[in-house]
Structure 1
Amino acid sequence: MTPSTMRVVRPLSITPAMLVSTNISEADYAEWLAGAGYAKGARVIATSQHKVYESLVDSNVGHAPAGSPDQWVEVGPTNRWKAFDQSNSTQTRAQNFLTYTLKPGKAVHTIAALNLVDATAMRVRVTDPSLGLIYDKTVNLAGQLLVSTWWDWFLGPRTSPKQCIYADLPSAPAADITIDIAGNVGLAVGVILLGQMRTFSMGVQMGARIGITDYSRKERNEFGDTILVERPFARRANWSPVLRAAEVDAFVDFLADVRAQPCLWIGSGRYEAMTVYGIYKSFEVLIAYFDYSTCELELEGLT
């Protein structure tokens, strides 16, 4: 198999000013009101911060959640904004269909939807204010058979893609980008990211290692009973890309720039498992030959 060129997407930070429209409401809980009293454990939303907060005390009156850490604790983003909070395990949920229209204000080459659940199709449209619709592409996310026998065709389980990546968007800095995801009643998406793709290396060498780190609780009590509590997991990978001599400096500088920033790392288009959304734990370049160098790259996915 020919080695695959390594691609890296550094996501844009999506701000409220970039959101043009969406069908996802911010109605997770009631909006916080200054004159209302809240019991311990009560939850509210602050739409100005797009956050959900939980009361830490009884008779909680007149304390704005964002500035009162003794009275309120931040739970997380609202359902509308979970897709843009950089966490893969927090998911924006909708029944059957969700849509976002964004105006990034700069050219975007790549869009990715990660940790998809119950999704059947994804559509991306790019509309330029002068040229109109310049890009419209739909990807079918229907489930596929693990093995192809007649029994499996009619009765066997099907696996659905957990991610969808568009890497061919036209450069249109002033354009609106509309992202539609269709699915069933349990439709959810963990991350929607937009960014420009950087390509490095002559390819990731064979022998790449992939796996997960499971944060579930797996213990035995004093009676020998097994206690299992399912929790999130994170992907991990060890790759060995081969770098051309001319790109070594650019590669090292790029990794230094993203040293504490989550990126989308794509080691191969053949395996979904060779895509990791997260950070690099370590890397080391060996100047092994005159024309090219080897690299050891360790990646840690985000939960």
Structure 2
Amino acid sequence: MDFNIIAPMAVTDVELTASNIPEDDHPEWAAGTNYAKGDLVISLTSHRIYQSMQDGNLGNDPLTDDGSWWFDLRATNRWSAFDQRRSNTASHPDQITYSITPTQDCDAIALFGLTAGSVRIEVWDGPSRIYDQTFVMVDTGHVVSVYTWFFGGIVYTRQKVLNGFPGYIGHRIDITIAAVGATAKVGHIVLGRNHLLGQVMNLPRISFVSHSRKGYDDFGDEILVKRGSTRKIEVALLVPTIQAPRVMDIMAEIDGLATAFYASGTGPTYGIEGLGFLDDHGQPLDVAGESTFPLIMKTLK
């Protein structure tokens, strides 16, 4: 199987042209309003929510504040799908829609932290719809017996990766995340160029990383605090040595960015799919023709 990453495209006001999620989480900051401690405002420039740190907060712009008056809380609901964090989810009753016009070639999309029955991707070239696919998000991997087939309940997958669609500069990409009768949610959306890095060698390692607190107090009683978990993916990639500069350039491009990665091919992918960041990448070169590159990715919560 092959290891792929999607180098993320920045999504700004230029790219995000429409959404059914209103940006009205809280009142917009106004210079003439005297805010009390704990008051919440939003900025339609940064698309973030700010909390007042003290009373008598008058005339202090949260965009230029040094942290004395305002605390940068999180992205607004509409923009939570593009804030490089999976835990801040964008949500809306029944469905979420986004219209995005790429400013660079974009042939892949990945959605994470989904609460949805289906996801629809449409691509428009002017008035012509040139791509239209709907994906049902039922996860059949949880069916492990006849009993679970009939009585196990419906389990929905939390992520979807898609590549090969015609998301060229100037095309409009419409995303519809549907959860009819419920609240549709998405944690993060990555759009960008798909890169095949190399072939996954035998024995990839996927580790469960718990962030829960587990210990004992002075009397020996257990202290258990439930927190989130992440995964650590360690793979060795077989890459033609002549392509080493290409791989190094891609690693430099995605360093420090929330990046989608996944395995492709005819064999089972063993859960090598997620939203994460590059943790380490070694490049011992074999001048004979092919090199084995160790790669470590860590997922976001």
What's the Cα RMSD here? 2.0
TM score, norm. by length of structure 1: 0.90
Q: Is contact 2:167–2:173 with CA below 8 Å preserved after alignment?
A: no
State the partner residue of 2:179.
183
Aligned to 1:88: 86
Judge which range, 18-27 or 153-162, deviates more: 153-162
Partner amino acid for 1:215?
Answer: H
1:5-154 → structure 2 map (5 Å cutoff): 5-68=2-65, 69-117=67-115, 119-129=116-126, 132-144=128-140, 146-154=142-150
Deviations 1:156-196 (A, max 9, x none): 14432111111011153211110001115242111111101
Q: In the alignment, which of 248, 268, 293 is matched to residue 295 of structure 1? A: 293
Alignment partner for residue 252 of structure 1, among 248, 252, 255? 248
Could you say if the C-alpha distance between residues 279 and 148 of structure 1 is closer, same or farther in structure 2, counting changes exceeding 3 Å? closer
Task: Give the whole-Å Cα distance in 2 for the aligned partners of 1:28 and 1:171.
Answer: 31
- In the alignment, which residue of structure 1 is the partner of 2:164? 168
Name stretches of at least 5 consecutive residues in structure 2 with no aligned partner.
none
Question: Is the contact between residue 145 and residue 152 of structure 1 (CA under 8 Å) also seen in structure 2?
Answer: no
CA contact (8 A) 1:146 1:157 kept: no
Shift of 1:138: 0.7
Please give the alpha-carbon distance, in whole angstroms, between the structure 2 residues aligned to 1:143 and 1:157: 11
What residue is the counterpart of 1:192 in the other structure? 189
Taking structure 2 as the reference length, the TM-score comes to 0.91
In structure 2, the partner of 1:222 is 218
Residues of 2 paired with 1:211 and 1:237: CA distance?
A: 6
* Count of aligned positions: 297
- Identity, in percent, stands at 29
Using the TM superposition, give the Cα deviation of residue 55 of structure 1 relative to its aligned residue in structure 2, in angstroms: 0.9
Deviation at 1:16, TM superposition (A): 1.1
Report which stretch shifted further, 61-70 or 19-28. Answer: 61-70
- 3-state DSSP of counterpart to 2:176: strand
Single out whichever of 84-93 and 32-41 deviates more from structure 2. Answer: 32-41
Unaligned runs of 5+ in 1: none
1:187–1:171 CA distance, 2 compared to 1 (3 A): closer
2:282 counterpart SS class: strand
Q: Is the 8 A contact 2:237 2:293 kept in 1?
A: yes
Structure 1 SS opposite 2:202: coil
Q: Which one-letter code corresponds to 1:193 in the other structure?
A: V
Aligned to 1:267: 263
* SS of structure 2 residue aligned to 1:29: coil
User: In structure 2, the residue corresponding to 1:66 is in which secondary structure?
Assistant: coil
